[in-house]
Amino acid sequence: MDYDDPERGTGLAARTREFVDEVVIPKERELLGDRAPTPEELAALREEAKERGIYAPQVDEEYGGLGLDLRSALPVFEAAGRSLLGPPALRVDAPDEGNIHTLEMVGTEDQKERWLPPLVEGEISSAFAMTEPPAGGGSDPKMLKTTAEKDGDEWVIDGHKWWATNGGSASVYLVMARTDMDEHPYSGTSIILVPRDADGLEVVRDIPHLGGGGMGLGHAELKLDGVRVPAENLIGAENAGFVIAQQRLGPARLTHCMRFAGLAERALDIAFAYASEREAFGDRLSDKQSLRFELARRHTDLHAARTMVRHAAREIAAGNEARIEVAASKYFTANVVQESVDTAVQVCGGAGISKDLPLADFYENVRQFRIFDGPDEVHLRSIAREFLQDPPTGELANLPRFGE
Ligand SMILES: Cc1cc2nc3c(=O)[nH]c(=O)nc-3n(C[C@H](O)[C@H](O)[C@H](O)COP(=O)(O)OP(=O)(O)OC[C@H]3O[C@@H](n4cnc5c(N)ncnc54)[C@H](O)[C@@H]3O)c2cc1C
């Protein structure tokens, strides 16, 4: 499909696709599967991406990136997403990509100077710690229980978090905590930077989970017990945590859609190739009408998802919040991606389940997308609220009523 992507983005996307095909995919079987890439292996891929001039396309030039806005970076994210290894190789991987964006947006000059260069370079990683175990904040983040109290020129943080992606290996955490208990959580919560070596911060465990195999992405449970950090570790304004989280999550939800759309596209490419070669019951699989229709449906749905994401990204790049466009894109793309990968596995039969093809890794990794950054139902709730909260419009005034 040809989209009206900005020229700089399409040029970089073509080079990214070349890099993924020539360098990343050949490494896939060696690096994915049962083990995570080592820091040295990732550094080698990143070095190659830098030499090809495609590294960190979304980061400000001042911090070592290429300075593309969200709309221009979109096709590059899609191209990188064709392999699970592509995003970390280009440093467009979550959650660092979203955390880097947050620091660029609202970090102080000191915070940017300290954290951005090593984060962009990939020397260190970061985690975003919002979600808490049941009884705390999850789908409904208003239920957040972690607190941060001012004591002189320090914050004292107490709480319990889980599902902090990268939490086991991160050097710094962006922790969401209630900072004014008299206010509604939306206007009484802040984000505070907590370095890994802060006293009282305990990484309880990496949560065993479906997927992630070979990507080395852990999701940690954390305890914060009287953690003290300097007052200047606050990110952005005090009590503006939810405003900042929204500014972070809007683009971050879309970049998830972009990476996963690339993954779904590759899964379907593999299915098309398999179906075209494999013969059964007298002709090729790709000659079976039922299978042709199924693949055509997946192709159409993916095109619709990619178009929605482009629309939402254009709105955000134009400075609009685009809440509903983002919610619709996240909900729709997550489901389309899951169905695409599932269809690809089915079409490839036993080979789809084997780890000879990357589809099994894709399959294990896409299920989470319907849950993180807001489960489907939360996005549907936001969309429905948008058009159901209005008072009656009178459209049904002329409808006959029972008993009237
Ligand atoms: C792989 C992965 C990575 C993650 N990374 C991070 C991270 O880096 N940082 C972070 O802070 N969090 C992270 N999370 C947490 C994630 O954002 C939460 O899991 C998600 O917001 C849901 O919260 P919960 O798990 O508490 O589900 P719950 O709030 O317990 O909800 C359970 C289910 O209830 C249903 N539900 C919820 N609300 C409604 C409703 N209004 N109507 C109908 N049904 C509803 C949904 O189906 C939902 O899945 C991650 C999660 C996963 C799985």
Ordered structural domains, the chain, with CATH: 7-93 (1.10.540.10), 126-235 (2.40.110.10), 242-388 (1.20.140.10)
Tell me the C-alpha distance between 351 and 338, whole Å: 18
Please say if the pLDDT value at position 34 is more than 70.
Answer: no
* Distance in Å, CA 74 to ligand 1 centroid: 25
Please tell me if the CB atom of residue 383 comes closer than 6 angstroms to any atom of ligand 1.
Answer: no
Tell me, rounded to whole angstroms, the distance of Cα 81 from its chain centroid: 11
100, 101, 163, 222, best to mutate for ligand 1 pocket (most atoms within 8 Å of CB): 163
What pLDDT does 1 receive? 78
Terminus-to-terminus CA distance in the chain, angstroms?
55
What pLDDT does 33 receive? 62
Tell me the C-alpha distance between 268 and 344, whole Å: 6
With tokens 């992606």, the residue in question is 165
* Distance in Å, CA 371 to ligand 1 centroid: 5
Indicate the pTM of the whole model: 0.96
pLDDT band at 333 (very low <50, low <70, confident <90, very high): very high
What pLDDT does 398 receive? 79
Please tell me if the CB atom of residue 116 comes closer than 6 angstroms to any atom of ligand 1.
Answer: no
Q: Average pLDDT, whole number, for the chain?
A: 94
Q: CB–CB of 296/275 below 8 Å?
A: no
* Distance in Å, CA 368 to ligand 1 centroid: 9
Identify the residue whose C-alpha is closest to ligand 1 atom 25: 138
What pLDDT does 37 receive? 82
Please tell me if the CB atom of residue 133 comes closer than 6 angstroms to any atom of ligand 1.
Answer: no
Q: Looking at 174-178, 297-301, 387-391, 396-400, which range is the least confident one?
A: 387-391
What pLDDT does 213 receive? 60
What pLDDT does 240 receive? 97
pLDDT band at 271 (very low <50, low <70, confident <90, very high): very high
* Distance in Å, CA 225 to ligand 1 centroid: 24
Structure tokens at 16: 């990214």
Q: Which residues of 109-122 are buried (b: 16+ CB within 10 A; e: fewer)?
A: eebbebbbeebbbb
Structure tokens at 90: 């280009």
Please tell me if the CB atom of residue 163 comes closer than 6 angstroms to any atom of ligand 1.
Answer: yes
Please say if the pLDDT value at position 222 is more than 60.
Answer: yes
Mean pLDDT of 252-276: 98
Q: 23: which DSSP letter?
A: I
Tell me the C-alpha distance between 385 and 390, whole Å: 9
pLDDT band at 39 (very low <50, low <70, confident <90, very high): confident
Please tell me if the CB atom of residue 380 comes closer than 6 angstroms to any atom of ligand 1.
Answer: no
371, 377, 385, best to mutate for ligand 1 pocket (most atoms within 8 Å of CB): 371
